[in-house]
Structures are given as structure tokens and as C-alpha cells.
Structure 1
Amino acid sequence: MTYGLPEEFSARNASQIIKAWDDRSFKIGMYISLFIFIGITVNCIGSIIELTLFEFIMGFLFLGTPTIILVGFGGQIGAIALLRLFQPQSLEGARKFLDDTNVWEYNSKETGAGFWKGLRGIDFERALARMLSSRGVDCRMTRVTGDGGVDLIIQLSGCVYWAQCKGHSTKVSVAAIREIAGACVNSQARPLVFAVNGFTAPAVEAASIRSVKLYDTDDIVRLAQRARIEAI
């Protein structure tokens, strides 16, 4: 897709262009609002002089304040609409570029929730193991069959964790919590469950009782956003 931008253009460049334009829109909106307010004030001076102090205060509270607010909003909206008509092609390209970049990162990078939500089964286990390992975590996968309910063995900061990975299209039920908790009961390992689509309420309650740590997609993304994982 063509955006009318330099080849070395980046999402950071796009954000800078959009922010600069939005800042300019805000300033112009303030000037428009001030101009309108001054005009209203000048037209009302004659009437204000004839009012008593009480009438002036009441009029300001019930008429002046709403007018100031409306003028402020009107100025901002007017400035944005006006500048939209005259925005350069580079700005339009920058907005489209940033939108497309965000969509791509959401679905294609480890730091995007869409990347994880689309993974199932062994693909989820591999992606999770790869992400953890690339961030300094000692992580290895178990056998596909006969693993006793343990998909990943994680060693971090002197602790050992046994983890289940649930790449399901629905929320994980309490059965998975019981299984991993049971697998860890006669070991020093701490139980974890990673699930791309979250957990049912009974599963969350059971995890709290059995000291099982739960990680949904948002939690996995937060781990992926770290350059190095020191704790889990």
C-alpha cells in the first residue's frame, strides 16, 4: 500500500507528525474561541453596565459560564474541521500508516494480543516458550504426550514453575486448575496456567484457593513487552 511517505518512515515518525498537527489544531482552536468570546463580551458590555452586582453575578453563573464552555468546544471543533479540509497528504498518509502498523503489530507481533488469541495447541506452547526464552527465562517444553498435565518447565530467580498452556477458543474451566495443582502437589514446583482466552469464574476461584497463578492474553502481552523478564 502506498502512503505517500519516505521509504524509511516509521510509526514513531507518524506519531510525531500527527501530534504536531493536533497541537496546531488545539492552538488555532484556542485562538478562534478567544476571538468569539471577545466579540460576545464587547457586545454585552453595554448591557452589563446597567446591571446590579447581584444580577451580574447570577447572569455570569447561569449564562456566562455555559457560554464560555460552548465557545471553547465550538472553537476546538471548528478548528479541527477546518484543518481537516486543508491537511497535507503526508498527514493523511501518516494516519493511515499508523493505523495499519498498529493493526499489524496487534496481530503479528508477540506484543499484540491478536497474535496470542489466534494460537492453538502446540503452536501456543511453542510461541510462549520462544517468547519467554528470548527474554532471559530458562524455559523448556515437555513431551507432547504423557506430560502429566505439564506443558512447560520454567526456572526463574531460583524458583521452578510447571505450566499448562491452554490455546482454547473458550475460557479455561476449573478442571485445568485442578490438574496442574495436582501435578505440583508432591514437588517444589509452583503451578501456572497460561490461557489465550481467559478463565471462568470458578477457575479463578479455584486458582486462588490452590495458589495457581493465572495468565491470560493481557498478562502474556505485558510479559512480552519487557526486554528481560526477572519475575513471573
Structure 2
Amino acid sequence: MRKRKKSGLLLSLFLLVFATPLFAQQQIKIGTDVPLQYALAYAYTPEKGLGGGVKIGLLAEPHNSIILALMEALGTKEYITAIVRESFKMGIVLDGNMAWNWSKNFAGLNVSYINLKAGQAPLNAIDENYGGIFNLIPSSLFSDETMAINLSSNLIQIGAHYGRRIPLDDKWELQLLLGVSKNIGSTNQFTSDFPYPQSLFNSIDEDLQENYKKYGIIPSIGIHLVYNL
């Protein structure tokens, strides 16, 4: 009896994940979610019921400046936004979502992974806020390239969204979205040709994680052009 119940549960999960798209409208989307990304997405969208999709996006200007301004307005320390602003010029966003669809509306939850590409952290901001470390280092003996600190970050966001479908013809439609996401965790990596003490990197890492988690709240407005397959 237990084996039958277990088999039935596994079959139900299989049908939900793999068979649902076969009986739903499949879509390709291109658009932007301000202030997060320029995006390309695939989704399966039934007239009524549970749908889902995946999205890949590019985080670049002006989105990153808007996000930093929002974080600063919420209380992020100025030197943290300076470090992030100078270190990262672009990032990659991967997003998975599930949504309930009804009467041209949809609402659901999503999880996003954001990889902020490695860049050089501003040494002046680090020096001013982490104990004047360069006063102890004869930096004039080393090139700027040797002294550079490269920083990369990976963030996980969870969020909720609501959208409205606006048909244009049999194949094309617009989708308007409102959403918000919250950071739930991050990792940061540091590399340098100079042998900085690990305690410096640990201190910056702790501050970044704290500020990402506390102030990494991203409201968004999206507009996507959709082709129905």
C-alpha cells in the first residue's frame, strides 16, 4: 500500500514538472525588468492553473545604479555602495519561477541567482574604512596592478510577482509585471597578486553579506514582448 502511495506521488510530481508544459501555452519572452535586468525567458502558461518558466538576464546600466541608489536609500553604508559600484559593472541573472494563471492574470514566486562579474574594488574606500591598512604597506614599491583587489559576488534572491497579459494578435502579446525580491544570502570572493591579510577580506565579506541581506530589496516593473509558440 505504501509503495502504491509513493509511486502515485512520484507520478504526480513527474506529470507536474514534465507533462504540464505539453498541455499549456509555451512562450518565448524578451524584455526588461527595471531595475534588475534585460532578459530572455521561456515560460509555459495555461489559461488557468499552475505555470512556470526560466529566465536569463543581463544586469547592466542603468539597472545597477538604480539598485545601489535604492540600497543606499534603505540604509546601506556609503562605503559599501562605493565598493560595489566600482567593483561591478555588469552581472548575469538566472531566474526560475512558478505562477498561477487566471483570466489573463498571473501571480507567483521566483528564485533568482545573480552573479556579479569580478572587478577591481576601490582601494581608497577600503583603506579609509578598514583600518588604514595601506599606511602599513609601502605601496609605492608596488604597481597598481599588483595592489589591486578583485571582487566577485553571488547573490540569491527570493521574490513574488504579479503580471497581466495583453494580447496583440494570435501569436504576440505584451506582459506587464510588478515584483519585489529580497536577498537571502550571498558569497564573495577576493583575489589579489599582493598578499593582503585574510582578516581584511573576511571583514569586507562580512560587511557585504550583512548589507546585501539587510538592504538587498529590489522592487521591479517589467515589460516583456511575448511570442506564443
Q: Same fold (TM over 0.5)?
A: no
Between Structure 1 and Structure 2, the one with more strand by share is 2
Task: Give the TM-score taking structure 1 as reference length.
Answer: 0.31
Between Structure 1 and Structure 2, the one with more helix by share is 1
Q: Which has the higher relative contact order, 1 or 2, with Cα contacts under 8 A spaced 6 or more apart?
A: 2
Task: Give the TM-score taking structure 2 as reference length.
Answer: 0.31
